[in-house]
Structure 1
Amino acid sequence: MEETICITREEGVAVITLNRPQVYNAFNNQMSQELLKALRDVARDSGVRCVVLTGAGKAFCSGQDLGDRSDPNIENFSLGDSVRGRYNPLIRAIVEMEKPVLGAVNGVAAGAGCSLALACDLRIVSDRARFIEAFVRVGLAPDSGSSYFLPKLVGLGRAMELAITGREVSAQEAVQIGLANRLVPHERFWEETLAWARQLAEGPTRAIGLIKRALYKGADAALKEVLEYEAYMQELAGRTRDFREGVSAFMEKRRPRFQGE
């Protein structure tokens, strides 16, 4: 039975909730394993067309649980092996999922929790949310994708500042500098999150998956390679039922009814 992760599915939306509120949803070994399983399960579920990732209680995720002693190999602990084995697969599962992943940041997102939020395709934040690149506070370098996502979202200069100082970024500033997409009052946070998630779930899911692949390719490749990759992605998109539906809806001057196929 899952204990540290909760999953609900409704109207094409899967909500994955980090569920260790007593420690602000800090990662231990069990939660890392259960979250990876949850991400892989919803990726395979054809009925899920949007994934929401959030935290229980007051926090989104406060990063690694520094007090965790559940790892049987704690005496021979390697931080590098932990990042490779526990965190990197989570980030890849989000990025490679060919469905939109909406990070619903309800409170503090710090350290690996901040990285987890940045790996999501979109971020909606409560006015109580905070982002902290907390690695430097304990004498560590960024991991779990922060050194990849942070400069792409806010630029190298701002990313350097946030990573070196470890200062807190408010929800308002997060939207201003590009760390987050939408800011809503905490009282309406879940209502607004689900409304956006349902809207995303009604979209052309296959096309959204191809968009994710194309943008990640475009972020790092040369123009010639990107142009060819775009042609390849467009070939795949043009064979989907949703493309045919989109063209029909345009011609008939109606709203498209995408099926995610």
Structure 2
Amino acid sequence: MEPVEYDETIHPVVWLNKIKSCCYKNQITKKEDIMEFCKSMIHPSIDVSKSSTFDEILNILKTDALFALFKYSVEEKLQNLKFDPKNKDHVQFIKKIKSLNDLIGYFNQSFLKRRKLIRSGSCISLKHVATGKYLTSCNMHYKTGSKGSIVFASQTLSNLNSLWIVSDFENESNPIVYGKNKVYFLNKGVNENIFISGDYKSPSTGNWEVSCTREIYEHLIESDSTNNNDTYYIKSKEIINIRDMETNNCILHSHEFPFTIDNETYQEVVGHKGRVDRNDKWCI
């Protein structure tokens, strides 16, 4: 067995086991000698000089870019892998993974990463970052203004009224892109779409009223600067802003100002113009 340098084509644990086997075969049995030989087979760009145990070496390798490349290559192969009893490729691939646990782990990682992307048709909740309440609608109607279904921020996420289907007719089932895809938000409880009015004022503060209606109104989802995105696709748990694209380019906003209808008190959700502020931030 010839020793191999560490690269992106092999899992660090598998590589280390091969190095150990090679050492034992060549009568290298002292831990210190194996450690030094192991370090010599790692490219100098990966600094393992201060490592004193094999676990420390593995931890360094798993944080290096080469390991990321290995995971991406595995993910790509998993996506392209099709079961065919007459084709031995899937057997060879699983042999490379070496264990069922690794295979399950990489599959889960790939699957969960895919699930985090917000797509046209995704069902989401929107939590107001500043107050911790959820964007909600219900069958109660405004007494003034549009007299449409009210939109407010609710303390709890307890029913369909706080769930929204985000959709884009031109981008069916594909991931939503920040600042590009024009989307609409359908409330699952009232089966109506969110709308920031350019004609009616909100009941408490006199900003622009937000209601739900059967008509479709498009919005842009904009990224908050704190997301640290490595991609332009929108993911769950990210902080976003929502901007109206139909009427007056308003931003969806909430605050701790209440309004009351039929002796029930609700936290106001409104649209406003101008710069984005802390009350415009929503967590998916």
TM score, norm. by length of structure 1: 0.21
Structure with greater strand share of residues: 2
Structure with greater helix share of residues: 1
Q: RCO (CA 8 Å, sep 6+): is it higher in 1 or 2?
A: 1
TM score, norm. by length of structure 2: 0.20
**Is the radius of gyration larger for structure 1 or structure 2?**
2
